[in-house]
A and B are shown apart, each in its own frame.
Chain A
Amino acid sequence: MADVSTSTRGDLRLTHLTKSYGDFNAVNDLSLTIPEGSFFALLGPSGCGKTTTLRMIAGLEEPTQGSISLGATDITYTKPYQRPINTVFQNYALFPHLTIFENIAFGLRRRGIKDVDDAVNKALDLVELPHLAQRKPTQLSGGQQQRIALARAIVNRPALLLLDEPLGALDLKLRRQMQIELKWIQKEVGITFVHVTHDQEEAMTMADTIAVMNEGEIEQMGSPADLYDNPKTAFVANFLGQSNLIKGTVTGNDGANQIVELYGQKISLQKDRSHGVDSAIYAGIRPEKFRISRLQTATSGNILTGGKVEDVSYIGVSTQYQVMMPWGQELMVFEQNDDGVAPFSVGESVNISWEPIFTFGLRGDEDAEAGTEVNPEEDLDE
């Protein structure tokens, strides 16, 4: 077999990629380019098509339409074993009958590579488990198996490494640690990583670029900060973190800003952060961008008056408030516990204010609840 893994390098390009099962399009006309050497995350809830996309890149599913190319080579219909791509599977899929050493050596032996011992030992060093070489997979903990699965893929120096919910089976603490390690390893080896996850925090911690997927399509793509601060759809606003979306109307312009009326109160919104198509929009503000203040306290920026504290949760680093607004909507406010101001109590009348630059605008015909009902821990298999 030709050694494809060293010859083919470059950006991964998906062009009009579609995968249909009967009438259902799991992936719908998806086009994107993943630059060589980047850490890319496909983020979305269960059934959004992210795993199907990954499996098409790996060659485990054949696209219904569209093409996949790596550098200048079209790999749409290439067999998985002919692609310079390796995968870290969701439940690791280590070979139970082989030792850890032979698991890692598997890909090298298939390609007839000479210095297997050296490469395997280096991979074991990279994941800091050289002492486990002669064990069997079942004798390892989940976290250790995860690292071995990573070593087994990375040892082949693929052009592209696919990670399918690789940390899903680990407990929270281990997951955090592995997130940092994975990012470090990616920098160390310089391989393009494509990471599929339903965990927004995981995607934001690790990836340079995130594509948020929903119902087989990409909702929005960008850097974690970009997606968080300037979401373009309600789904992204709700799926990545939490958002307060308040229905309003654009009533005029003021230089680079739009004037938006929210239930009779005027606020301003930067035009380049407004993604509405007509005057009906949702004004979005992240809960931690809000400031909460007593009525007599002077506040600046955008102000909404007439709130009443409904609920207070002290969680150490911050205090979370539910504030009922005159028009019957509850807003979430996260206040850092760093200003020495006594917490507000339930029933207090308050004003809410924020810096105008933190407002983002969404189309008024969107479903304000999109992306909120998704429980990220729901299930790992799609």
Chain B
Amino acid sequence: MSSQKKFGLSTPYLLLLPGMGFLFTFFIVPIINLAQTSTQTPVAGGDTGQYEQTLRFQNYIDAFVENKEQFGRSFVYAILATALALAIAYPLAYAIAFKSGKLKNLLLVLVVAPFFTSFLLRTIAWKQILGEQGFVVPTLRSLHLISESTTLTSSAFAVVAGMTYNFLQFMTLPLYASIDRIDPRTLEASGDLYANGFTTFRKVTFPLSLPGVVAGTLLTFIPAAGDYVNAAILGSPQTKMIGNVIDSRFFKIVDYPTASALSFTLMAAILILVTIYIRKAGTEELV
């Protein structure tokens, strides 16, 4: 109490000021602007890209009905990528936390290493790896795992694989942080209390790592649902996601109101899904 008085009541607010200022300028203001744009309509007889405020909320319904297929695809792809990333990252994070010994720091650096290259470049590299000239396709063909006519690029597979890869770190790091915090003695205690390795994982390790699972899946799912880079580079017109629609509405068709309405709809959908998810996972008790 006394130490707080020493700094005065306004100190916490002063410390918050730079962050709040930044958020206001680069988040609140654009959001308000976006909200205003979303209910505009074209100026009658005006140029392309000229809109006026008419409070037309029908924009939202039109935008959604017109693009519900891409909406659905975005969520399916994002869920798939999240599930795959979890399946890959969990054993990885577990091994780094419990089994890596002296290599721990090196392995953590390796997990983060892809960040040193641009997201875009890495995705383009995937296009080459999965392309006709890469080694993956000829290998799979010679093993008769895919037919001669099947290609891997421009497919849903490539888009989901790309997203899985690009967001893997966001899954691995929170999982690692969470698993690393588990006291190994609780695992020994579980073994001591008649639980074999699998039961110990199911009853102790996994429940104790849930905060990491929740954080990791959210950090993967949220950007994946709004992603458009992977679909643009690795996909085809048949694998368009909502991010690609928003992109083309804004920059190619110059249909600002529809793009804005889609953005808001996406935000709302993610917010609702995430809220339900957190409630179900019951993480309030864990963290």
- CB of A95 within 8 Å of the partner chain: yes
The residue from A85, A93, A111, A156 contacting B189, defined by CB atoms under 8 A apart = A93
A81 lies within 8 A of B191 (CB): yes
Indicate whether A114 reaches chain B with its CB closer than 8 angstroms: no
Report B-chain residues with C-beta under 8 Å of the C-beta of A90: 185
A107 to B199: give the CA distance in the assembly, Å: 12
Give the residue of B183, B192, B210 whose beta carbon is less than 8 angstroms from that of A86: B192
Query: Of B185, B196, B207, which is within 8 A of A97 by CB?
Result: B207
How many residues of B are in contact with the other chain, CB < 8 A? 19
Check B195–A106 contact: CB distance below 8 A: yes
Q: Give per-residue flags for B163-198: 1 if the beta carbon is below 8 A from chain A beta carbons, else 0.
A: 000000000000000000001011011111111100
Does B129 touch A at the CB level, under 8 Å?
no
| With contact pairs A1-B196, A106-B193, A110-B195 given, residues A93 and B286 touching in the complex (Cβ less than 8 Å) | no
B192 touches A95 (CB 8 A): no
**B186 with A156: CB separation less than 8 A:** no
Q: A91 within 8 Å of B by Cβ?
A: yes
8 Å CB contact of A80 from B183, B188, B199, B210: B188
**In the assembled complex, B222 has its CB within 8 A of some CB on chain A:** no
Q: Does B204 contact A (CB under 8 A)?
A: yes
Tell me, in angstroms, the Cα distance from A58 to B193 when the chains sit together: 11
Contact check: which of B191, B204, B208, B286 meets A60 at CB < 8 Å? Answer: B191
Are A91's CB and B194's CB within 8 A?
no
- Please state if A89 and B286 are interface contacts (CB–CB under 8 Å): no
**Is there contact, CB below 8 Å, between A93 and B185?**
yes
- How far apart sit A131 and B131, CA to CA, in the bound complex (Å)? 66
Of residues 50 to 93 in A, which have CB atoms within 8 Å of B's CB atoms? Answer: 58-60, 79-81, 85-87, 89-91, 93
- Residues on A with C-beta less than 8 A from B286 are 97
A110 & B186 in contact (Cβ 8 Å cutoff) = no
CB B51 to nearest CB in A, in angstroms, measures 53
A147 within 8 A of B: no
When the two chains form their complex, are residues A96 and B186 in contact, meaning their CB atoms are under 8 A apart?
yes
* Cβ-defined contact, B208 with A97, below 8 A: yes
The answer to whether the Cβ of A152 comes within 8 Å of any Cβ in the partner chain is yes
Chain A hits for B207, CB < 8 A: 97
Contact B204 A95 (CB under 8 A): yes
Residues of the A chain whose Cβ atoms lie less than 8 Å from the Cβ of B189: 87, 89, 93-95
Chain B residues, CB < 8 A from A107? 193-194
Chain A min CB distance to B200 (Å): 8
CB contact under 8 A between A86 and B196, given known A96-B186, A97-B286:
no
B191: nearest residue on chain A (CB-CB)?
Answer: A80
Q: How far, in Å, is B87 (CB) from chain A's closest CB?
A: 22
A103 → chain B closest CB, angstroms: 9
How far, in whole Å, are A69 and B186 apart by their CA atoms in the complex?
26
B188 cross-chain contacts in A, Cβ below 8 A = 60, 80, 87, 89, 93
**How many residues on chain A are close to B (CB under 8 Å)?**
25
Interface centre among B188, B204, B208 (most CB of A within 10 A): B188
Assess the B185–A91 pair: CB atoms within 8 A: yes
In the bound assembly, the distance between CA atoms of A88 and B199 in angstroms comes to 20
- Cα A81 to Cα B190 in complex, Å, equals 8
> B196 CB to closest chain A CB, in angstroms?
5
Interface string of A322-350 (1 = CB under 8 A from B): 00000000000000000000000000000
List CB contacts (< 8 Å) of A92-137 with chain B: 93-97, 106-107, 110-111
> Which residues of chain B from 106 to 132 have a CB within 8 Å of any chain A CB?
none
A323: min CB distance to chain B, Å: 48
> How many whole Å from A142's CB to the nearest CB in chain B?
15
Q: Per a CB cutoff under 8 Å, which of A89, A95, A111 touches B194?
A: A111
> Within the complex, what minimum Cβ distance (angstroms) separates A380 from chain B?
13
Which residues in B have their C-beta under 8 angstroms from that of A156?
Answer: 193-194
Q: How far is the CA of A96 from the CA of B287 in the complex (A)?
A: 11
**If A95-B204, A97-B286 touch, does A110 touch B193 (CB 8 Å cutoff)?**
yes
Report B-chain residues with C-beta under 8 Å of the C-beta of A93.
183, 185-186, 188-189
State in angstroms the CA–CA spacing of A87 and B191 once bound together. Answer: 10
A81 to B286, CA, bound (A): 27
Contact (Cβ within 8 A) B204 A81: no
| Closest Cβ–Cβ distance, residue A293 to chain B (whole Å) | 55
Taking CB atoms, residues of chain B closer than 8 Å to A96 are 186, 208
How distant is the Cα of A136 from the Cα of B93 in the complex, in angstroms?
27
Closest to B196 in A: A81
How far is A96 from B183 in the complex, measured between Cα atoms in Å?
Answer: 10
A86 and chain B: residue at smallest CB distance: B192
Interface string of B188-224 (1 = CB under 8 A from A): 1111111110010001100110100000000000000
CB distance from A127 to the nearest CB of B (A): 17
- In the assembled complex, how far is the CB of residue A246 from the closest CB belonging to chain B, in whole angstroms? 46
**A110/B191 in contact, CB under 8 A:** no
- Report yes or no: A110 in contact with B208, Cβ–Cβ below 8 A: no
- List the 7 shortest-distance A-B pairs measured between CB atoms, nearest first: A107-B193, A93-B185, A110-B194, A93-B189, A80-B191, A97-B207, A87-B192
Give 14 pairs: A residue, B residue, CB < 8 Å, sorted on A: A58-B192, A60-B191, A60-B192, A80-B192, A81-B191, A86-B192, A93-B186, A94-B186, A95-B204, A95-B208, A96-B186, A97-B286, A106-B195, A156-B193
If A79-B191, A80-B192, A91-B183 are given as contacts, then 13 extra A-B residue pairs at C-beta distance below 8 Å, sorted by A number, are A60-B188, A87-B189, A90-B185, A93-B183, A95-B186, A95-B189, A95-B204, A96-B186, A97-B208, A107-B193, A110-B193, A110-B195, A156-B193
